[in-house]
Amino acid sequence: MENTQLCQSCSMPIDHPELAGTERDGSPSKEYCKYCYQQGAFTAPGLTMEEMQANITRQMAKRNLPAETTRLALNVLPRLKRWRNGGRP
């Protein structure tokens, strides 16, 4: 999974083309997943990093993923493009 692109908003692996978000022209986003980014904009533009952390925790718990996986996903958030740029694409 070394070369897998991570969503630069939620850290979800974008390991299949159908998971990519879309740009304004309909082309696949190279940085964001379909849950975070559609038609060139964030699906939840006012979302804070703390709210994203809560969303990630809920979604991973629903999938019964290990706590370590959740911890790793949460730890990478501050380094992702969305959060480095104050929540703007």
Q: What does the pLDDT read at residue 75?
A: 95
- Give 3 or 59, the one with higher predicted confidence: 59
Phi, psi at residue 27, to the nearest 5°? -70, 155
Round to whole Å and give the CA distance between 47 and 52: 7
User: pLDDT tens, 8-33?
Assistant: 999 999 999 999 999 999 999 999 99
Task: Give 49-77 pLDDT, tens digit per residue.
Answer: 999 999 999 999 999 999 999 999 999 99
* Pick from 45, 6, 40: nearest CA to 21: 40
Domain spans in the chain, listed from the N-terminal domain onward: 5-84
Furthest C-alpha separation in the chain: 38
User: What is this structure's pTM?
Assistant: 0.87
